[in-house]
Structure formats: C-alpha cells, structure tokens
Amino acid sequence: MAVLVGKKAPSFSAPAVVNGVEFIDDFSLEQFVGKKYVVFFFYPADFTFVCPTEIIAFQENMEEFEKRNVAVVGCSVDSKHSHWAWLQTELKEGGIKGVKYPLVADPAMTIAENYDVLAGSWDYTEDGEAKFEGVPEAYRGLFLIDKEGVVRHQLVNDMPLGRSIDEVLRLIDALQFSEEHGSVCPANWHKGDKALKENHDSIASYLGEK
C-alpha cells in the first residue's frame, strides 16, 4: 500500500453531490487549500449496511468538525446519480437523507486507485483487453489533510470494519495542538492532556506523572 503521509494529497476533479441535493461536475479538494483541514474518506458502496452508520455519524458530528475548521468529504466508486438517490432515501429505508457534506463520485475508480484504497486492480488478457481483478470497490480509507494540502494521517480498514469518529476527532485535535505548540502528543493523548517536547527529560517527567 502507498504511504501518502507527508505528501501532497492526490488531486482530482470529479462529480459530486453537495448539500444533499446539488450536483457539481468539477469538485476538487484544491478549494480547501490554505483555508481548511480536510477529512477525506472512502467507503465501499451506496445502499449498503455498514456505510450508512459511518456516513451518518460524520454528519451527526459535523458541528465538532466545523469547530475545528475541518471539511468532511466522502467518496465511493458509485455514480453521482446513485449518491443522489441514496441521499433522498429516508434513514428508516436504509438511506442517508439529511447528510449535507459532499459525496464524490468515482465510477472510473481512478481516485480510489490514486489513493491506493481500491480493492482490486486492472490487468490485461492475452488478447490485450483490460480486465479488473478483485472487488471494484474502495476499502474504508481515511485521510487527514492539513491546510497546505499535505496528508498527515491515513487509515485503511477492510470493508467489514467501521471507523471511529471519536478517533478521527482526537487525531485532528492532536495535529492542531502540535502545529500550534510544537509539541508531540503521546499515546492516547486527548485535548487538555499534557504533551511532550522532543527530549528525554520531558518523556521521563511525563511517565513519572502517569
């Protein structure tokens, strides 16, 4: 798997549905550079079982992301029309109606491939015809991108494994604290906890206070 941490997030321009109803044909993460942090996450497919729990959980915590100046953007290999239909479907019917943050459409699977979360790959037959081997869906990849457009954290789960929104928020807090104070956030750090400077004395002091 490609390690994107420390590198510029792969750029793209793709169709998306925003505000739950509006089609945009050239959505890009570039609009956030210099302005916002971004949580860019992939999910396997629309109209599935685990995916709505994550997608709705992000929406339910949108106020917390907004407090931290973070844009949340989802992506799957479904079409923009599939996204739109799912966004119009009531929760009790398996839909995600009420979700307002952007959902990017990647039916060509190029975005998932560039972020190296595609659960399969293209190959060629002996006749030179392209064929896809594996599952034409994305793993549950998540990328925390800073305001300079650089990936600072990535996590990829297999399809049955849902993610923790609390952990995503914790990592955002750690990144922003580190950027502001120049400190290192130790294991299980939460906002308000003691952090470390990069020297052995502070580590010993920290461990002594545990």
Give the model confidence (pLDDT) of 175-197 as tens digits.
999 898 877 877 777 887 776 66
Q: 14-162: CATH homologous superfamily?
A: Glutaredoxin (3.40.30.10)
Coil, helix or strand at residue 24: strand
- Listed in sequence order, the residues at least 6 apart from 96 whose beta carbon sits closer than 8 Å to its beta carbon are 52, 55, 56, 59, 86, 87, 89
| Least confident interval from 11-20, 45-54, 56-65, 164-173 | 45-54
- Listed in sequence order, the residues at least 6 apart from 84 whose beta carbon sits closer than 8 Å to its beta carbon are 17, 21, 23
Q: What is the mean pLDDT of residues 162-166?
A: 94
Q: What is the mean pLDDT of residues 63-73?
A: 98
Q: What pLDDT shows up at residue 173?
A: 94
Predicted structure pTM score: 0.90
Which comes out higher in pLDDT, residue 30 or 197?
30
Q: What pLDDT shows up at residue 203?
A: 53
Mean pLDDT of the chain: 90
Q: What pLDDT shows up at residue 105?
A: 98
Q: How many helices (H) and strands (E) does the chain have?
A: 6, 9
Q: How far apart are CA 169 and CA 104, in angstroms?
A: 22
Which comes out higher in pLDDT, residue 184 or 36?
36
pLDDT at 202 over 70: no
User: Mind telling me the catalytic residues?
Assistant: 51
Q: What is the mean pLDDT of residues 141-165?
A: 96
Q: How far apart are CA 45 and CA 21, in angstroms?
A: 18
Which comes out higher in pLDDT, residue 162 or 189?
162
Which comes out higher in pLDDT, residue 169 or 198?
169
Domain locations in the chain as residue ranges? 14-162, 164-210
139, 156 contact by CB (below 8 A): yes
**Percent share of the chain, pLDDT over 90:** 73
Q: How far apart are CA 12 and CA 169, in angstroms?
A: 25
Q: What pLDDT shows up at residue 79?
A: 97
CA 64 to chain centre: 16
Q: How sure is the predictor about 206, in pLDDT bands with cuts at 50, 70 and 90?
A: low
Task: Give, as one character, the DSSP assignment of residue 85.
Answer: H
- Listed in sequence order, the residues at least 6 apart from 23 whose beta carbon sits closer than 8 Å to its beta carbon are 15, 16, 17, 80, 84
Q: How far apart are CA 22 and CA 19, in angstroms?
A: 6
Q: What pLDDT shows up at residue 185?
A: 73
Q: How sure is the predictor about 154, in pLDDT bands with cuts at 50, 70 and 90?
A: very high
